[in-house]
Amino acid sequence: MIAAFLKKLTTTLRMIKFEHTLFALPFAFLGAVLAANGSPEWWQILWITAAMAGARSAAMTFNRIVDRDIDAANPRTANRELPSGKLSVGFAWPFFFVSVGLFFLASYSLNWLTFALSPVALISILGYSYAKRFTAFAHLLLGWALAISPTAAWIAVRGTIDSEIPLLLSLFVLMWTAGFDILYACQDYEFDKKTGLRSIPARFGVKNSLRISRLFHAQAFLVLLLLYFVTQLGWLALAGVLAVAVLMIYQHTLVKPDDLSKMNAAFFTTNAFVSVILFLTFGGAVFVAKL
């Protein structure tokens, strides 16, 4: 029984791409540290983590449910947990509702504003799943969904938005996410064109999409640089800005219009480092400044 439970748990974590939590959770923690100008209260960290876990699990599960027929038709995604039958829709829906419940409970436990805004956040992260059926700019909607986390964490700690800092951090996350999602979508260029799904690669072609992705990441860098000047966090934060710039440049050297074979390295490896580096450098700089 224990072995069966662990196997199902592992399969569920694969369905929601648990390892991708590294993309968003460090930004939420960074938003909380900046808001607290140091370490938030332990219970705030606990409920912020719970809210992120609930929101992300709900969003990924909902996406897998509504996209299961599309995933089944796409050779790249046909082996995902729902189209392959490793998990059933009858299991996925209850898991989704439990995740939503956890998200609302955590939001309620933080403060009244996080709870009041929680439906807006939930609609945003669930709505992305339908975006590619209607607009080529679904990548920006995904960016918006991830960009909610640092500002939401700021509100969770302070109960208000009283600074441009969380908004700049969220804008960076939006542009950075949209840029790497365009890269990732290049893999499905042929499939999206054939099935009528909308994406920037399907609309503008792979070569032009790589240019658009670079433009988004250049904008993300400028926003990050502005965040550094606004926070005035010194050399450690500047080191984070420069490290992220190097990673984004390196990412674009790996992907070429006629060679997408290194996409996994560009997408998963480099992007997982970005959020962690910024959390360690900007967050660490907060504590250095206090000393």
3-class DSSP assignment, residue 37: coil
Q: Can you give the pLDDT at residue 147?
A: 95
The first and second tokens of residue 91, run together, are 């299991």
Burial letters 213-222, b for 16+ CB under 10 A, else e: bbebbebbbe
Q: Can you give the pLDDT at residue 155?
A: 97
CATH of 19-290, one of 1.10.357.10, 1.10.357.140, 3.40.640.10, 3.30.70.100: 1.10.357.140
DSSP H helices, the chain, are 2-15, 21-36, 42-66, 68-73, 89-110, 112-131, 138-158, 165-185, 189-195, 200-204, 206-231, 235-254, 263-264, 270-290
Q: Can you give the pLDDT at residue 266?
A: 67
Which residue, among 220, 228, 127, 226, has the nearest Cα to 182 in the 3D structure? Answer: 220
Q: Is the dihedral of CA 51, 19, 133, 69 positive or negative?
A: negative
Q: For the chain, which residues make up each domain, given as ranges?
A: 19-290
Q: What is the mean pLDDT of the chain?
A: 91
Tell me the pLDDT of the chain (291 aa) as tens digits: 666 666 777 888 788 877 666 678 999 999 999 999 999 999 999 999 999 999 999 999 999 999 999 989 888 888 988 888 888 899 999 999 999 999 999 999 999 999 999 999 999 999 988 988 889 889 999 999 999 999 999 999 999 999 999 999 999 999 999 998 999 888 888 888 888 888 999 999 999 999 999 999 999 999 999 999 999 999 999 999 999 999 999 888 888 888 777 777 666 777 878 999 999 999 999 999 877
> Per-residue pLDDT tens for 97-137?
999 999 999 999 999 999 999 999 999 999 988 988 889 88
Q: Can you give the pLDDT at residue 8?
A: 75
Residue whose entry in the numeric block shows the structure tokens 């990732």: 184
Q: Can you give the pLDDT at residue 22?
A: 66
